Structure 1
Amino acid sequence: MNTRSTSRFSRAALPLGIAAVMTLSACGGGSSSGESSGSDTDTSAFSINLDDCEDPASATEPITDTFDIGYSAPLSGPVAGAVELATAGYDARLAAANEAGGIDGVMIEVNYKDDAFAPDKAKANGTEFIQNDGVDALATFGTGALSAMVDDQNAACVPMLYPSSSTADFADIEAFPWTTTILPLATNEAKFLVNLIQERYPDGVSVGVAENPTASGKVQGDAFQEVAKEMDLPIDAVVSDGDPVAAATELKAEGVEVVYHGGVTGTCAAFDSARGRIGYEPELVLKPSNCVNAVEYIAAGNAADGIELGAFGKDPNASENEGDEGVAMYKEQMDAAGVPAEIQGNAVAVSGWTQADLVVNTLEQAAASEEGLTRLGVMMAARDQDYASPMLINGIKWYSTPELLTGIDGFRPIKWVAADEEFVPAGEIISIRP
């Protein structure tokens, strides 16, 4: 993992008179990395009151040297292994953008600080990034970290670009105008999963929930339960996976036939290993889309066989993607960054690459807009996306409008096959676009 120090940058100050309520005009633009355009929504409806910013003028100052991203990440702690995979893809994509000339000559620099998956450390990192390092944007990993950083980040009017969180709280554009996330909203994903259960079991089935006790896991579990209630799917048991054996034992005793496991990347398969040890074999186990790290399922062995989840990223090793232009570009960039082939094929690395690709597309779109490459221009671009990122499954896009953050606009069911140690398609793409 590369740690880069932020470079000093110069900006031309703009008059304070434009730091009042800014009404944004439409933006859009192409990208060298995939099909891209602004959404067809009139972005004049999107306004940010810059008077709410601690330093209103900074939001409209042109960024002319480097675009600096402060990334608070759990480089140590329980999910550090997954983060290492994600940042390998993230760094490779940004390195390729810089090698191609950056954003009209502006290089993208990333400075990582370790938060050990602890929200208080993430908050301290965010403060340092904003107050001492003067970053142009922020990123982080996990709902707990984002929750700790989001108020300070919005007050400072520093864009938070595509952090790994699925909570719907931060999709409230009026409350958090400077924040946008990458993971599918937990409520959208839950609707997809509940619908899948009801289609598979039209006469009913016993359903249980095992949720991870972290903030991210709580978001997943709560969303599934709320959507299940709305869609009239009874939940028979809810347990914590903090003790995986106890969780599996309780669900087995309750006779639960379908389990939704609201796991978190890096610990997703511990519950399945526990199931294997006590001989608990439910008819179906469903996971959130972040539980896609093949290494974890391989370690769980046969107990993981048949697990299903909704996918949105391409598998670079799948036969269906041979000859795919996006996959070819991905592999070329990962090779250039020295990322080993076994990491390139991991879905978490693909997700990290996609996160950075969204950043690059957003910055390119901002640079081509009337506002230019400014913090304001960047957030305007982030709210106006209809982008087929090259490593999204063909037919799935990243979609946002000034009024609504949809993000990933569809899923395809995939199933883990333990004998082959790979995911295979298990259904057609289901759109969740409004």
Structure 2
Amino acid sequence: MKINHVAGARRLAIPLAIAALTLGACGGSSDGGGDSSDSSSDPSKFSINLDDCNDPDSATAPIKGTFDVGYSAPLSGPVAGAVELATAGYDARIAAENAKGGIDGVKVKVTYKDDAFQPDKAKANGTEFIESQKVDALATFGTGPLSAMVDDQNAACTPMLYPSSSTDAYVDVKQFPWTTTILPLAKNEAKFLVNLIKDRFPDGAKIGIAENQTASGKVQSEAFQAAAKAADLKITEVASDADPVAAATTLKAKGVEVVYHGGVTGTCGAFDTARGRIGYEPKLVLKPSNCVNAVEYVAAGKAADGVELGAFGKDPNAPENKDDAGVKEYLAQMKEAGVPDDVIGNAVAVSGWTQADLLINTLKQAASSDDGLTRLSVMEAAREQDYASPMLINGIKWFSQPDLLTGIDGFRPIKWNAADKRFVPAGDVISIRP
């Protein structure tokens, strides 16, 4: 469906599925008029007042020449290695599109600023991008940096497009209309993992959590605990993975049979290495989908064998994908960009490529709208996607509706095979569409 905006009133009308969320105070008349373009007369819509933007005219101004993205990323610090992989994929996908002439002649330009995974630095970067460089969109990496940037970014009506975060704190369209994230929502992924546990252990098992102490790790742990509670599964122990050996020792002492390690890319394998050192072999170890960096599991050796998670991206090295059209496109673009072979095959690089591919698809959709390419049309497009990105596993799409961000709409279980040094399929795609 087309999301219409009323230019004279400077508002974006976005349908809502639940009539109770109609906001009479957020634009439109309360007298119940019959004009279908007025959101107040339609209980399935509400309006966002663009007059609340710091610079309202910037939201509807045509974008020409370049679409400027300001990317605050941890180019140094604990997850810098993973970010280097992700940005290799991101840059390769954008370079390939620019080489074809861009989006209706508009090329994408990305400027990076280091935030070292520190929220205060990310906030400063966001301010610089918005106020001085006047970028058309923002991106970032991690829940902490996103949390630091999100209020200023929404006040400026600058789109935040597909940052790497799994929190559901910022998917409320009425509060954060200019923000959309890429990673599967933690609550959706947690439900998938909890259902997997119930299926594998119908008679029950002792469950524990190794919790990463970053903002992203906390979000994942809390989501898993909530999903477990809703499914009547008891959590025996929650241990911090700040000291991986201590976490593994604690969980082993408690007799935990199923471990959910809410890790963060770049730190996921340390817990498995620690388990190996103390001889802790639970029946099942589960991780969030961001824990796909093969290098970490190779370093952990046999201890990582059998680790499972829900995947959404294709493995370009998998034999079953050698004739896949999406994989061929990905490989060609990465090689053209000069990306080393060991990076090309990494799942984190695939994720970065997919992030850029979603951005490009969104810009194309916006450019083809009646309004052409503007910040507003970009957010309209981001709010309505049903897109099978080439590197998403077949049967999985990126799905969003004006009132609801589902994002990744399914998972396929995969299992780390230590002998082959790769993840292998461990089940069929399971849809999480509402």
AA in 1 matched with 2:347? A
Query: What is the CA-CA distance between 1:19 and the residue it aligns to?
Result: 5.5
Give yes or no for the alignment of 1:21 onto 2:2: no
Q: Paired residue for 1:185?
A: 185
Q: Tell me, what secondary structure is at the counterpart of 1:167?
A: coil
Distance 2:391 2:348 in 1: 12
Give yes or no for the alignment of 1:212 onto 2:212: yes
Query: Structure 1 residues 17 and 347, CA, compared in 2 at 3 Å: closer, same or farther?
Result: closer
Q: Tell me, what secondary structure is at the counterpart of 1:261?
A: strand
AA in 2 matched with 1:388? A
Q: Which has the higher contact order (CA 8 A, sep 6+)?
A: 1
Query: What is the CA-CA distance between 1:17 and the residue it aligns to?
Result: 6.5
Q: What is the aligned-residue RMSD (CA, Å)?
A: 1.4
Matched-pair contact (CA < 8 Å) for 1:68–1:135: yes
Q: Tell me, what secondary structure is at the counterpart of 2:412?
A: strand
Query: What is the CA-CA distance between 1:46 and the residue it aligns to?
Result: 6.4
Q: Paired residue for 1:200?
A: 200
Q: Deviations over 1:363-391 (max 9, x none)?
A: 00000011210000000000000000000
| Equivalent residue runs for 1:349-428 within 5 Å | 349-428=349-428
| Equivalent residue runs for 1:112-261 within 5 Å | 112-261=112-261
Matched-pair contact (CA < 8 Å) for 1:19–1:57: no
Matched-pair contact (CA < 8 Å) for 2:14–2:403: no
AA in 1 matched with 2:398? W
Matched-pair contact (CA < 8 Å) for 2:288–2:309: yes
Q: Paired residue for 1:86?
A: 86
TM-score (norm 2): 0.91
Distance 1:21 1:265 in 2: 38
Query: Structure 1 residues 252 and 24, CA, compared in 2 at 3 Å: closer, same or farther?
Result: closer
Distance 2:250 2:125 in 1: 39
AA in 1 matched with 2:318? A
Query: Structure 1 residues 368 and 47, CA, compared in 2 at 3 Å: closer, same or farther?
Result: farther
Query: What is the CA-CA distance between 1:322 and the residue it aligns to?
Result: 1.2
Matched-pair contact (CA < 8 Å) for 1:45–1:402: no
AA in 2 matched with 1:114? D
Unpaired runs of 5+ residues, structure 2, are 1-5, 16-41
Distance 2:10 2:324 in 1: 47
Distance 1:430 1:116 in 2: 35
Distance 2:413 2:12 in 1: 42
Query: Structure 1 residues 17 and 271, CA, compared in 2 at 3 Å: closer, same or farther?
Result: closer
Query: Structure 1 residues 312 and 19, CA, compared in 2 at 3 Å: closer, same or farther?
Result: same
| Equivalent residue runs for 1:288-367 within 5 Å | 288-367=288-367
Q: Tell me, what secondary structure is at the counterpart of 1:157?
A: coil
Q: Deviations over 1:290-317 (max 9, x none)?
A: 0000000000000100000000000001
Query: Structure 1 residues 17 and 321, CA, compared in 2 at 3 Å: closer, same or farther?
Result: closer
Distance 2:8 2:60 in 1: 8
Distance 1:47 1:141 in 2: 29
Q: Tell me, what secondary structure is at the counterpart of 1:377?
A: helix
AA in 2 matched with 1:104? D
Distance 1:46 1:70 in 2: 29
Matched-pair contact (CA < 8 Å) for 1:22–1:47: yes
Distance 1:138 1:63 in 2: 15
TM-score (norm 1): 0.91
Q: Paired residue for 2:70?
A: 70
Matched-pair contact (CA < 8 Å) for 2:210–2:241: yes
Query: What is the CA-CA distance between 1:49 and the residue it aligns to?
Result: 1.6
Distance 2:354 2:7 in 1: 38
AA in 2 matched with 1:154? N
AA in 2 matched with 1:21? R
Query: What is the CA-CA distance between 1:93 and the residue it aligns to?
Result: 0.2
Q: Tell me, what secondary structure is at the counterpart of 1:252?
A: helix
AA in 1 matched with 2:100? A
Q: Paired residue for 2:25?
A: none
Matched-pair contact (CA < 8 Å) for 2:70–2:111: yes
Distance 1:46 1:417 in 2: 49
Q: Tell me, what secondary structure is at the counterpart of 1:168?
A: coil
Q: Deviations over 1:202-245 (max 9, x none)?
A: 00000001110000000000000011001111110011100101
Q: Paired residue for 2:24?
A: none
Matched-pair contact (CA < 8 Å) for 1:46–1:403: no
Matched-pair contact (CA < 8 Å) for 2:209–2:261: yes
